[in-house]
Amino acid sequence: MVKIDLKGQVKEFEAGVTAAEVAKSIGMGLYKAACCARIDGEACDLRTPIQRDCQLEILTFDNEEGKKAYWHTCSHIMAQAVCRLYPGTKFAIGPAIDNGFYYDFDLENPLSAEELPKIEEEIKRIIKEDLPLERFLLPPDEAKGKMAGQAYKQELIDEHAGNGEDISFYSQGDFTDLCAGPHLMSTGMVKAVKLTAITGAYWRGDAANKMLTRVYGVAFPKQSLLDEHLQRLEEAKKRDHRRLGKELGLFMLAEEGPGFPFFLPKGMVLKNTLLDYWREIHKKYGYVEISTPIMLNRQLWERSGHWDHYKDNMYTTEIDETTFAVKPMNCPGGMLVYASEPHSYKELPLRVGEIGLVHRHELSGTLHGLFRVRCFHQDDAHVFMTREQMQDVIQETVRLFDEVYSTFGLTYTIELSTMPEDHIGTVEEWERNQDILKNAITAMGKDFVINEGDGAFYGPKLDFHLADSLGRTWQCGTIQLDSQLPERFQLEYVGEDGHKHRPVMIHRVVLGSIERFIGVITEHLAGKFPLWLSPVQAVVLPIAERHHGYAKALQKQLEEAGLRVECDLRSEKTGYKIREAQLQRTPYMLVVGDKEQEAQEVSVRHRKDGDLGAIPVEAFIQKAKEEIASKEIK
């Protein structure tokens, strides 16, 4: 007999009982909804036999690991469908991703979007066949034989052969794939599938490799859930920041500079207003601002550890026979600033911020609008402190994050990333710093999930994943606890005892990449920025040419009051001008005709609330100023 702990309730079963059988004993509802299981914290198939006392969790689609098992199974079903329809297909990799799944294929004739419905029909046939997914292991030599003719799979087998372990496979009917799992028990457990896109993708994301065909899809346990998801996708297309960036005149991308965005006049107003807010909030929390050089020599990057851990993503050049690197992050420059003068414990915590322009060598296939670029402004800050101040500083930083994110109507979840394999520093230091981050967050009543092995090479971190109005998440803010760089740069402060001590520090960003954050809020708000952030806050619309003089004078009056205003003097009908202003997401449209000119008023229309009627100009100015000051989102 084995004792199985099910969320605190311990039950006894015969040894060898599977997770699926345990789920069925609890209830048929859970059994039918189950996607995979977790035994003592490790994800596994529902078919896994249990031979020892353990903790068991049955994971459904509502759980992230359950969802990934569901979508990963769908990627295998899609690969099976493609191989049936197009014999001779070579298949590469097919993971579950944050919003579905994909598979990369190498075909003699690349697929087109017109062929997706045919593949969907074959997927439905495979689902109807209700094929069991069965796992088996083979030694590397036999594994390569099993994957004869599949060059990409054989390459992956060769990479894993060195560890001496058998290779894991899953089979379903006439299809077998190299995979570690976990998976659903059968293809019949999938209910609603839709293939959403087809693109090109380089093998391993490297432009030097062959271009493959990548097919994306998504699936849900109910058709209604799929329908809701597809509606959200349609809404996301309308909100695509690349489309809105062009329509609203915010930024542009050019072939002459892939991954290097150009900001246009209205985009610069938006960007500078956002940075003004950043400076305002950081001044409130006691930060000082610095600026460090865009290039520093290789010796510095070796000293910081970035050369060993990040050099493949760095741009370099030679100056006076010395290698220099364009900075991919601001941290080493911040260390030099701190080290440039002596410090006392009385100054700590010392909060130092920088909006630094950084460059990173991203692969061309990964570039995406403002979300993935090769140069961007990072709102870095480094807080130097004593060990006794660590928890207070972390909590203070989270409060700053709360204030900023709530301003944009964004909520978040927190992820604690722990020690990676290529870390520097002792395991004891890492564990101590991880506990400090945990305790600080827990004491604030906030939840977090663990992301094993994904910390920065110098320390554990808290990542803040923002949820937008469509339910999508974006990783923007981070708090990284670091006791390694202060050691490497020999940073010191004079303590209350008169002796020199080593400070500890946090790296933190709240917006992350300014460019990426602009992309996020553009999509989150569908381009309808709050009044304080809108590049154009109001447009004056004269009804006829005889009203142009009043319209120009009104524009000047509003600008002198601090508002950003345009005046539309085109010989177009007023209704057309209003529609144009609505398309530009302008918050206020101020219509002026004979009556308004005579009464020194404006007829106010709001992009959401519609016609607000005629009001005195000074009253509108006061109303606008109050809305700007409140940073209200309408």
Start-to-end CA distance of the chain, whole Å, equals 61
Cα distance between residue 83 and residue 175, in whole Å: 8
Cα distance between residue 364 and residue 374, in whole Å: 9
CA distances to 410, 420, 534 from 627, rounded to whole Å, are: 19, 46, 12
351 catalytically annotated: no
**Which one of 214, 306, 507, 508 is the catalytic residue?**
507
- Which residues have C-beta within 8 Å of that of residue 31, sequence separation ≥ 6? 20, 23, 24
To the nearest 10°, report the CA torsion of 359, 245, 231, 405: 60
User: In 10 A of CB 222, how many CB atoms?
Assistant: 11
Which residues in 36-61 are b (16+ Cβ under 10 Å) and which e?
Answer: bbbbeeebbbbbbebeeeeebbbbbb
Cα distance between residue 322 and residue 324, in whole Å: 6
Could you write out the three-class secondary structure of 294-359?
Answer: CEEEHHHHHHHCHHHHHHHHCCEEEECCEEEEECCCCHHHHHHHHHCCCCEHHHCCEEEEEEEEEE
378 catalytically annotated: yes
**Which one of 36, 74, 179, 331 is the catalytic residue?**
331
Helix H or strand E encompassing 19 = helix 19-26
**Which one of 106, 177, 380, 568 is the catalytic residue?**
380
CA distances to 106, 124, 222, 230, 279 from 226, rounded to whole Å, are: 28, 15, 7, 6, 43
Closest CA to 5 of 36, 46, 38: 38
To the nearest 10°, report the CA torsion of 399, 403, 406, 408: -140
The gap from C-alpha 30 to its chain's centroid, in whole angstroms, comes to 32
User: In 10 A of CB 28, how many CB atoms?
Assistant: 9
**Which one of 229, 461, 508, 524 is the catalytic residue?**
461
Closest CA to 150 of 75, 93, 81, 71: 93
Residue 325 backbone class (left: φ over 0; alpha: ψ -120 to 50; beta: rest): beta
Residue with tokens 């004593």: 386
Residue 321 backbone class (left: φ over 0; alpha: ψ -120 to 50; beta: rest): left
At 199, the amino acid letter reads: T
**Which one of 150, 378, 537, 584 is the catalytic residue?**
378
499 catalytically annotated: no
CA distances to 63, 178, 226, 589 from 75, rounded to whole Å, are: 18, 12, 16, 50
Cα distance between residue 91 and residue 212, in whole Å: 9
Cα distance between residue 19 and residue 37, in whole Å: 7
Pairing between β-strand 411-417 and β-strand 538-542 as defined by DSSP bridges: unpaired
**Which one of 360, 423, 508, 605 is the catalytic residue?**
360
- Which residues have C-beta within 8 Å of that of residue 216, sequence separation ≥ 6? 100, 101, 102, 195, 196, 197, 198, 199
380 catalytically annotated: yes
360 catalytically annotated: yes
**Which one of 38, 153, 382, 508 is the catalytic residue?**
382
Cβ 540 vs Cβ 566: under 8 Å: yes
H-type helices in 205-330, by residue range?
A: 223-239, 241-247, 265-284, 298-304, 306-310
Residues with a catalytic annotation lie at: 331, 360, 378, 380, 382, 461, 507
